[in-house]
Chain A
Amino acid sequence: MIAQIFAVIIFLAMFVLIVTEVLERHVITLGCGLLTLLLVFGVGMRSMDAVIETLNVKSIFTLSFWYAAGEASESSSGINWATIIFVAGMMIMVEGMARVGFFRWLCMKIAKMVHYRVVPIFVTFMILSSFLAMFIDSITVILFLAAVTIELSQLLKFNPIPMILSEVFCANLGGSATMCGDPPNIIIGTSLGYSFGDFMQNTGILAGVSLITILIYFYFAFHKELEQSAAKIGDTASYPDPREAITDKRGFVVSALIFLCAVVLLVTHAQTGLTVAFIGTFIAIVTLITSGKNALSLIKKVDYKTLLFFIGLFVVVGGLEQTGILNLIASFIGRISGGNVMLMVAIIIWISAIASAFIDNIPFAATMIPVIKSLAATQGVDLSILAWTLAIGTDIGGSATPIGASANVVGIATAAKDGYIIKWGKYCKVMAPATVIVVLLSMLLIYVRYF
């Protein structure tokens, strides 16, 4: 009982501290993780086994961590090292691509392909945002896309805010399509043993239908404003040449090939048996080797704070799991849904979406994974349906408010640097209805497809 009380207090304190930003979030989760080890496992449970299981270090030294012949499942208990290693590897690859100007080139190339016409740029950038976010973290996608959007807005005299908001929404939506698109999906996939293909066939289809719907929504919401504010297109020959964005031609080709290789490895990992931990490590090593003297600067650019945040978070959630708190939550959801799976899906998708609109979706998803696992075991529900529901709820819900997802913050801050201030009202007026539409649509699609 004392262990459960400690676990809940530490978890709630962690959430409050993250929201209030008293300290940097990695310091908060690491501190709370340490308290979990000491108070929950040490004082409360007096269990060294719980500590070892939560730290989960030995899993790294097993063959199945790197190569899983068949449908091997990772343990959801404790630190999910596969997620951390994969995220670190992708960070190095993305930094390598950014260094050579890949993202800026891609954005400018597309703008040139549509002859710098504002509405076609608006539509193609939404699609580009979704596509890139399927493989690359949405922060990087928006950092580059928003910067190029502002540059083009100054050139073509249009208000960049509608375009940036649409790109942010599509980045979050694209992230929901694949296993590596959004951190909650990586955690769900590695914790429950789902492959890239599993996500593509389930959340991928939901995201695809939602993208078509949301393209229409944003088109009708913004096309008049964009057409009105856009100046007549001048001599496009005087516009920046996409090739100018490339800082290192050889590095550019190599980066593009590595990215392609990463996509192929991810798409085929269920067939090849290579785990995401292996793919992340492999991609990072290849990027570093081919970067030569720039390798050290790439390593320095890795967002270690996010990786440390993950580690601390997994330990705190491990405390809740080991003390049985998450089983209690699962049985509560089971009770109020009365065993009705459709109601269970509705509860999970809307609670996930609403919670993710206001709090970080990564701790939420990490907490909910053991809950849905327990629900599936006790209520006899297909775990995969709950997993896709959780993924969509957490990934999409974050779009509703400016603080719901990292991409939103980055998009707003990038626009603000050039004086385009996006307040809560302006943001939510367009993004909250879009979020409700997609969550509702996804719920209906889940009902149609799985029931």
Chain B
Amino acid sequence: MNKQLIISIGREFGSGGHEIAQKLSDIYQLTLYDQNILEEIAKKTNLDHNELRELEETKRNKLLSRTVRGMNNSATHNVTLLQFDFLKKKADAGESFIVVGRCAEFVLKGHPAVISFFVLGDHDVKKQRIMELYHLSDIEARAMMYDNDRRRKQYHNSYCPSKWGDSRYYDLSINSSKLGIDGSVKIMCEYINARIVEM
């Protein structure tokens, strides 16, 4: 494919957003960026990417951080900015890729090659998927879903003027529980193909 294509996927925990991204990555032969962005950053600085991983997609603690002339000491904040910078540089360099989460629909907003999706799901379907995937009980799966979605929402909303999951800020929002993962991928491909023609 000659045209640059960047797909950003926001997702609710348990909706299968990551699996969808993986399938789209295979279909369009695009590099998938998620936590591996930190590996790239860690390689450059000789840092342990596991150390960085615990800081990503987390809202900064305002009581333990301070802003001076736009700069902040928060490790989570700085890791977030490193990831944003990584995505912007890749986009500006003309690379095509898929990115999961990381406020990509906001960070890359206005870039002509970006198509943004938000994948959501029905509560019970998501819970069932989490129970099977992580071998958890009903209560554990619900708690895990609640904690992850709350963390993602706080993280997203502290960096973006738009609200996490608000359909007005994504090109297409899709409920993966209705058509399943493959059905959703099919619809999303149709949309992507239509957009590519328009690019």
Contact = CB atoms under 8 A, between A and B. Distances in A.
A226 interface: no
Interface stretch (B2-10, B65-73, B159-167, B190-198): B65-73
A21 interface: yes
Interface in A392-440: 402-403, 406, 408-410, 412-414, 416-424
Contacts of B35: none
How many interface residues does chain A have, given as a range? 20 to 34
B82 A409 contact: no
B47 A409 contact: no
B73 A421 contact: no
Contacts of A402: 64-66, 73
Contacts of B179: none
A413 B66 contact: no
A409 B72 contact: yes
A238 interface: no
B68 A139 contact: yes
A419 B55 CA distance: 13
Contact of B71 (A303, A410, A419): A410
Most buried by B among A409, A414, A421: A421
B107 interface: no
B81 A416 contact: yes
A416 B78 contact: yes
Interface string A314-358: 000000000000000000000000000000000000000000000
A422 B71 CA distance: 14
B63 A19 contact: yes
A409 B73 contact: yes
Nearest to B78: A416
B82 A413 contact: no
B63 A20 contact: yes
Given A402-B73, A409-B73, A413-B73, A419 B66 contact: no
A45 B12 CA distance: 55
25 contacts: A21-B66, A139-B69, A303-B69, A402-B64, A402-B65, A403-B65, A403-B73, A406-B68, A408-B73, A409-B72, A410-B68, A410-B69, A412-B73, A412-B78, A413-B68, A417-B78, A417-B81, A419-B42, A420-B47, A421-B47, A421-B51, A421-B55, A421-B75, A421-B79, A424-B64
Given A21-B62, A417-B81, A421-B75, 8 more contacts: A21-B65, A21-B66, A402-B73, A403-B65, A410-B69, A410-B71, A412-B78, A421-B79
